[in-house]
A and B are shown apart, each in its own frame.
Chain A
Amino acid sequence: MTTISPIKIKKEIQPKEQHDIKKSVYLTKQLNLWYGDKHALKNIDLDIKEHEVTAIIGPSGCGKSTYIKTLNRMVELVPTVKTSGEILYRERNIFDSNYAVEELRTKVGMVFQKPNPFPKSIYDNVAYGPRIHGIKNKKILDEIVEKSLRGAAIWDEVKDRLNENAYSISGGQQQRICIARALAIEPDVILMDEPTSALDPISTLKIEELVQELKKDYSIIIVTHNMQQAARISDKTAFFLNGEVIEYDDTDVIFSNPSDKRTEDYISGRFG
């Protein structure tokens, strides 16, 4: 018998076990993406499971935002973008010519780096999604708004000021309004691109707790350049470097026993 290090064993067994219980939400196969001539994503293969928090870490400019914006095809708003490869969302290739982006984005909500509420009332912000999808009934809208605001853990703070402009509340509260707005369309997946980077520590903590709550009902993919945050809140972590996935594994493995030297250097703060 040769000696196998405990890390290796864990790596070989765990993915197999999880395959049986958890389904994939996103299966990325050989994804490449170019901004004009710039090759921003290189041969990405990732299997993202449902009801998990998947963190994407890496130094800035490594393609984290590009990758999650590809998951809901927002990246195509940049006219020079070209892609190759496949991303299967619930077994369907999102690049299929007959896959309407609006349909995909109704299933996949997004929360951005900087809180970006609409210059409307808190109520109208949260009701925006249901309204564009044709819900007019005031009673139903009221219910969705309350449910979404509760889901985003901000109902108690804003229930008496639903008609105030969303810019009248703090940045941390605005970000939770944005989360509520995303919840209102009852998505399946929530993409978050550094959602706390513009927030103070207390608001950050609230969002982190919220993410833990939300993963019961949603699959969450979160970009962060704060490694403690990734370690605290995620189940899986993917480490990106120069447009490539260097390592993708359970978060505790990545942070305690990374198998790639570059991952180790990054998480121990040697670069980035």
Chain B
Amino acid sequence: MAVVAPTSIILGVGSAIYLEEYAKKNRMTSFIRTNISNLAGVPSVVFGLLGLTIFVRALSLGNSVLAAGFTMSLLILPVIIVAAQEAIRAVPNELRDASLGMGATKWQTIVRIILPAAIPGILTGSILALSRAIGETAPLIVIGVPVIIQFLPAGVMDTFTALPMQIYDWSSRPQQEFQAVAAAGIIVLMAVLLTMNSIAALIRNKFQKRY
């Protein structure tokens, strides 16, 4: 999470700003736009393979927290870009006009007017995307993350595992104790997901259209 959230949000919002505010509207950019939406629908295993090739092998990060974090970021990046694009597009043009009309530069307008107005939408989309990342396992299996670990990872280069995989492994063991641990794991996972989704809903309600 500590890797996934900053990487994907920074890259995602940056790309959305570029696509919405700077890129010229031509064939090339509309092709890119369409394909970002398509990417959001690509099965996660495929992203796992991509992560395996790029991060684990080419950049030799191994099956570490960092490699998995980057892979997960790739997976949710399209979702965040699309959400951020929509949030930016929803900011009325009148506000851009008002700001530019006072001699503000494009960048000042983006930083002071457009982003603040779009942030609720961006955050909501990002949190929902992140909660998808928590539940995902397929890409991690592909990049070779061990199914279970017995010790906490100490740093970003350590091996680690994901909660859903731990749960799967625990619950398939015969001993009684593991059933209880699995149940606890499920509750933790559920609680985290519910919390994130409620935060998203709260943000959305709090900042509901003011213009």
Genuine A/B complex:
yes
A-B CB pair tally, cutoff 8 Å = 71
Assess A105 versus B100: contact at CB under 8 Å? Given A79-B25, A132-B112, A167-B210.
yes
| In the complex, chain A residues 112-134 whose Cβ is within 8 Å of any chain B Cβ | 112, 114, 116-120, 128-129, 132-133
Bound-state Cα–Cα, A116 to B210, Å? 12
Q: Report the minimal beta-carbon distance from B140 to chain A, rounded to whole angstroms.
A: 41
Q: Report the minimal beta-carbon distance from A269 to chain B, rounded to whole angstroms.
A: 31
Residue among A106, A128, A178 with most chain B CB within 10 A:
A128
A207 at the interface (CB under 8 A from B): no
Are B98 and A178 neighbours in the complex by a CB distance under 8 Å? yes
| In the complex, chain B residues 92-132 whose Cβ is within 8 Å of any chain A Cβ | 92, 94-95, 97-105, 108, 112-113, 116-117
Bound-state Cα–Cα, A109 to B104, Å? 12
Are A106 and B103 neighbours in the complex by a CB distance under 8 Å? yes
A223 at the interface (CB under 8 A from B): no
Chain B positions within 8 Å of A181 at CB level: 98, 102
| In the complex, chain A residues 84-137 whose Cβ is within 8 Å of any chain B Cβ | 101-106, 109-110, 112, 114, 116-120, 128-129, 132-133
The one of B97, B103, B108, B211 that contacts A185, using a Cβ cutoff of 8 Å: B103
A148 at the interface (CB under 8 A from B): no
Q: How many residues of A contact B (CB 8 A)?
A: 29
| In the complex, chain A residues 178-195 whose Cβ is within 8 Å of any chain B Cβ | 178, 181-182, 185
Are B97 and A109 neighbours in the complex by a CB distance under 8 Å? no
Are B112 and A128 neighbours in the complex by a CB distance under 8 Å? yes
Q: Report the minimal beta-carbon distance from B110 to chain A, rounded to whole angstroms.
A: 12
Given contacts A128-B99, A132-B105, 10 further A-B contacts (CB under 8 A): A74-B100, A105-B101, A106-B103, A109-B101, A110-B97, A110-B102, A128-B102, A129-B104, A132-B102, A167-B211
Q: Report the minimal beta-carbon distance from B27 to chain A, rounded to whole angstroms.
A: 14
Are B98 and A116 neighbours in the complex by a CB distance under 8 Å? yes
Are B102 and A119 neighbours in the complex by a CB distance under 8 Å? no
A77 at the interface (CB under 8 A from B): yes
Instruction: List chain B positions with a Cβ less than 8 A from chain A.
Output: 24-25, 92, 94-95, 97-105, 108, 112-113, 116-117, 210-211
Chain A positions within 8 Å of B99 at CB level: 118, 128, 132
Are A118 and B98 neighbours in the complex by a CB distance under 8 Å? yes
The one of B95, B103, B105, B108 that contacts A118, using a Cβ cutoff of 8 Å: B95
Are A105 and B95 neighbours in the complex by a CB distance under 8 Å? no
Whose C-beta in chain A lies nearest to the C-beta of B92? A116
Bound-state Cα–Cα, A105 to B104, Å? 8
Are A105 and B103 neighbours in the complex by a CB distance under 8 Å? yes
Whose C-beta in chain B lies nearest to the C-beta of A102? B103
Bound-state Cα–Cα, A258 to B63, Å? 83
Give the top 10 A-B pairs by smallest Cβ distance, nearest first.
A106-B103, A116-B94, A105-B103, A110-B101, A119-B210, A129-B102, A102-B103, A132-B104, A116-B98, A132-B108
